[in-house]
Amino acid sequence: MSDSTSQFALPFQDFAVEAINSLVAEQEAPPARRKPRRASATHFDYPPVPDLINMTETMTLTQDLASELDDTETADTAAVIEDTPVIHEDRLWQDDGWTARVIKNEDDEGWAVAMFQDGESEPALVGPWTMGRDKKNPKPLDANAFGTLVKTASEVLRRHEQQLHAMLHKSMIVNTRTATINVTLDIVPDEDDPYAMLTAIDSDGEQMAQVRVLPSYKLTMASATTWVESGFRSVKEAGKSDY
């Protein structure tokens, strides 16, 4: 990402922790006294859900969710997902539009798991993975663990999209003596030429004015009111304003 668009980066960890915590709360059951279950050759200890909380420490979100896919891109993505083979292996689990890959953790001697959404070359989520019983190899992936990973990664991406949308699209209601005006700011985080559009909309939904402003333009109640009361100043003036 270029310097011109670095201002649009989000603090992913906060909402990622919240997303994972909500999944943990849904899956945790009240404690119950049970007799120890005898281990068998076909039984594996599934990675406990709380371990996934640590995944936020090395979480990486690389998708650009600021723009929506057009019809062609959507069709291409669907074709990629349809052509992706189903793989169920101890260190590679590929199904339902996602791929979980267990890899060596570069930061220590442990293991990590990377979650890829089909059609993407970069992982949507990367975090530490639990060591196996032999304290050498990673615990094998299975349907339950994979399902939890998919839910976690999907929730993180969903919340990221919501926060990004809220960051790029803001609005303020300005009440004048004669009208109620909705002032909106829509930021376009283009890598080469980022900009924003400042728009005034009346109570009937009709556009009253629109100017192009700098992406650093701060939409507040004060700046929105000043713009309305000034008679919707020109693009140059609004772009240079220091609100």
Residue 106 has what pLDDT? 75
User: Could you say which DSSP state residue 90 is in?
Assistant: S
pLDDT score of 211: 93
Compute and round to an integer the Cα radius of gyration of the chain: 24
The mean of the pLDDT values for the chain is: 74
pLDDT of residue 41: 37
pTM score of the predicted model: 0.54
For 12-55, the pLDDT digits (tens) are 445 554 545 554 455 444 555 554 444 433 333 334 433 433 33
Question: Which region among 82-86, 89-93, 123-127, 190-194 has the lowest average model confidence (pLDDT)?
Answer: 82-86
pLDDT above 60: residue 92: yes
Burial class of residue 194, CB neighbours in 10 A (0-12, 13-18, 19+): middle
What confidence category does residue 69 fall into, taking pLDDT thresholds of 50, 70 and 90?
very low
List the chain domain ranges.
3-166, 176-240
Task: Write the pLDDT tens digit of every residue in 150-185.
Answer: 999 999 889 989 999 999 999 999 999 999 999 999
Tens digits of residue pLDDT in 215-227: 999 999 999 999 9
